[in-house]
Structure 1
Amino acid sequence: MQGTIFAIKRYALHDGPHIRTTIFLKGCPLFCRWCHNPEGISPQPQLVWSADRCIGCSTCITACPHEALHLTNEQVRRDVDRCDGCGECVRLCPALAHEANGWQATVDEVVTEIKKDIPFFDQSGGGVTFSGGEPLMQPTFLLALLQEAGTLGIHRVVDTSGYAEREVISTVAEHTDLFLYDIKHMDNNKHRLYTGVDNRSILDNLRYLHNKGAKVQVRLPLIPGINDDHENIVQTGTFLRGLPEINGLDVLPYHPSAKAKYNKLHLNYPGEHIQVADQAYIQEIVHNLEQFDLSVRIGG
């Protein structure tokens, strides 16, 4: 069985409890304006070119078997209709200006990488986290990875938006020790405006996990001008107060560090006009949420 991943991050400290290895699965049905992993949105592996690394040798242009690369105004342009993602440009570029964003991997290959960190898991109480993108977009692959990790006695976290069919949520929950679960906006219309999808199944799935007794840590990405208004904070607090078994709430302040990733992918950064909140304002939001008897932390 194969799936598509785009990164493996070792010694992660903010993707669940203690020291973790985070596996990033490719593909996401949401298009959040503040997304900090744009390389995880497309479900397919992507080839990207970095101008700051290119030395202008034209090796890639000559080597491309499909004549998909052209030099225009000192920029290498890729004809997406001709390119089949064979990766010859990545393999042959002497300056590493071409990169593959994402690759196919088998369950055994991923589990082999996870096993390397078992000594750190044993010492710290950590484990493996499956993130994205949206890991629930590859449910069969994710389930196989969760089952294998469970067989090895490794603590398993799924970091998700919760946007999935109930059957997927239910099956994955049987093999997950902790969910990191995003709530991005309580208003359905605004949720659709800022993420591209409806939020009703997301909230329903969170209720389902709560009632099922699953361990869930809710995360609120705090995005100034989008979901930080008083009304949404009150609605979020009220909703979570009705789910008393939820483990807690992490407030994740917005930061613009992903802008370089968008530039690398030759994408316009949709969060260009989002402001960064100061610490006093973030503390005020946290204080307001704590009024709903919630255990609130800043960061993951």
Structure 2
Amino acid sequence: MTPLIFDIKRYAINDGPGIRIALYFKGCPLRCAWCHNPESQLPKTQKLYTASKCIGAQECIEVCPEDALKLTPDGIVTDYEKCTLCGLCADACPTKAIEMSGKLYDVSELMQLIERERIHIDHSDGGVTFSGGEPLMFPGFLVEMLRACGEKGLHRAVDTCGHVSAKTLLEVAQHTDLFLYDLKLMDPVQHKKWTGKDNTLILENLVKLAESGAAINIRVPFIRNVNTSEKEVTKMAKFIATLPGGTPLVSILPYHNIAAHKYDKLGSEYDEFEMAESTDEDIEQAESVFKSFGIETEVGG
């Protein structure tokens, strides 16, 4: 199955070592309440609309073959009963108030894009990062891309939530230089509350991945009222400290409500529930707990 790519980020510096190009796959098994890329969740093309950019030019209405758009006092409204997501309205929009999220590429097209960034990648010991969404939802295509990058001597990182089959994960590991592995919560009930799935498979896979000898950077989205308590961080630290093959680096990723506008673009509301940004004290406490277990941490990354 060929995935849709919803973003290609050049000069990426927070998705593995050096300067990288990051490819974002569309589709994810989780529904994290804090998701910063809501357009990544569904493995299909979606239309995004930014009302503040709309100037009422109406070119989009004129080109629509299904007569699915109309101008209202609130801006352009799409009738999704009629809309076929052909993208002609996005192409016609002079201010890019309408955008299409999700584009098909073949391996050769993506490799051409990657090669254009080669000078920055090579000079910084960077590479290519496969993110999402969840790239491991598309193992055949992902492995093909990883092999192609490996043949070019490119460093390969895979960003994963870990909610995939162990067989798929370990197959991908044979072609991956670094895993960016999300660890959100230790309690399975709370994990399901906040992400829609419990974490049994995720934790089991992390152990198996560590046993395989894979290089792992654990990344913790750090969210007050979700996982910043000393009790929760201690549970994480105890688990990470027992992983086979050495203790991985832990990146603490402070939560920021920076993606609410994306939900607006998709026509949905962003509900923060009781989520809040972590404080400096929360982060310092977490660093202290991880250090007490001999775990190196960084903030960001």
The SS at the match of 2:276 is: coil
Q: How far does the alpha carbon of each residue in 1:233-277 deviate from its partner, in whole angstroms, 9 at most, with x for none? A: 111011001015242111111111111222222221132642222
Cα contact 1:164–1:201 (8 A) shared by 2:
yes
**2:49 corresponding residue in structure 1:** 49
Residue in 1 that maps onto 2:10? 10
User: Do the aligned partners of 1:215 and 1:246 also contact (CA within 8 Å) in 2?
Assistant: no
1:23 matched to 2:26: no
1:58 has 2:63 as partner: no
Matched residues in 1 for 2:49 and 2:261: separation? 13
The residue that corresponds to 1:214 in the other structure is 214
- Give 1:38 deviation, angstroms: 1.2
- Trace 1:85-124 onto structure 2 (pairs within 5 A): 85-124=85-124
Which residue identity does 2:41 align to in structure 1?
A: I
Once superposed, which parts of structure 1, at least 4 consecutive aligned residues long, lie more than 6 Å away? none
The residue aligned with 2:165 is 165
Which whole-Å CA distance do the structure 2 matches of 1:50 and 1:16 have between them? 31
Structure 2 distance, partners of 1:58, 1:158, is: 41
Maintained 8 Å contact 1:56/1:74:
no
C-alpha separation between the residues in 2 aligned to 1:74 and 1:202?
43
Are 2:290 and 1:254 equivalent residues in the alignment? no
The 2-side partners of 1:50 and 1:252 are apart by: 27
TM-score (norm 2): 0.96
SS of the residue 1:223 aligns to: strand
Name whichever of 279-288 and 27-36 sits farther off.
Answer: 279-288
| Structure-1 residue corresponding to 2:294 | 293
Q: State the 1:71 CA deviation.
A: 2.5
Query: Equivalents in 2 of 1:266, 1:54: separation in Å?
Result: 15
TM-aligned CA deviation for residue 282 of structure 1: 1.0
Bigger mean CA deviation after superposition, 208-217 or 258-267: 258-267
Q: Output the CA distance in 1 between the equivalents of 2:146 and 2:184.
A: 26
Q: Do 2:61 and 2:70's aligned partners in 1 also have CA atoms closer than 8 Å?
A: yes
- Residue 39 in structure 1 maps to residue 30 in structure 2: no
Between stretches 50-59 and 170-179, larger displacement belongs to 50-59
Q: In structure 1, how many angstroms separate the alpha carbons of the residues matched to 2:268 and 2:49?
A: 12
Deviations 1:83-113 (A, max 9, x none): 1111110111223221111211111111111
**Larger displacement relative to structure 2 (218-227 or 43-52):** 43-52
TM-score (norm 1): 0.96
| Native 8 Å contact 2:228 2:278 kept in 1 | no
What's the CA shift for 1:192?
0.5
8 Å Cα contact 1:46/1:101 also seen in 2: yes
Inter-partner Cα distance in structure 1 for 2:95 and 2:12:
29
Which consecutive unaligned segments of at least 5 residues does structure 2 have?
A: none
In the TM superposition, what is the alpha-carbon distance from 1:193 to its structure 2 partner?
0.5
Which amino acid is 1:49 matched to? Y
Check whether the contact 2:247–2:295 (CA below 8 A) recurs between aligned residues: no
CA contact (8 A) 1:51 1:75 kept: yes
Paired with 2:177 and 2:22, the residues of 1 have a C-alpha distance of 15
Query: Partner letter of residue 209 of structure 1?
Result: L
Matches within 5 A, 1:237-248: 237-244=237-244, 245-248=246-249
Q: How do 1:155-194 residues align onto structure 2 when only pairs under 5 Å count?
A: 155-194=155-194
Aligned mates of 1:277, 1:4 — CA distance in 2: 33
Corresponding residue number in structure 2 for 1:283: 284
Alpha-carbon offset, residue 2 of structure 1: 3.8
Is 1:145 the counterpart of 2:148? The answer is no
Counterpart amino acid of residue 287 in structure 1: S
Which segment drifts farther, 40-49 or 191-200? 40-49
AA in 2 matched with 1:276: E
CA distance in structure 1 between the aligned counterparts of 2:207 and 2:14, rounded to whole angstroms: 24
| Gap regions ≥5 residues in structure 1 | none
> Deviation at 1:122?
1.7
Distance in 2 (alpha carbons) for counterparts of 1:50 and 1:167: 41
- In structure 2, C-alpha distance between the alignment counterparts of 1:214 and 1:191, rounded to whole Å: 25
**Secondary structure in 1 matching 2:28:** coil
More displaced stretch, 70-79 vs 126-135: 70-79
> AA paired with 1:281?
D
Mean Cα deviation higher: 174-183 or 280-289: 280-289
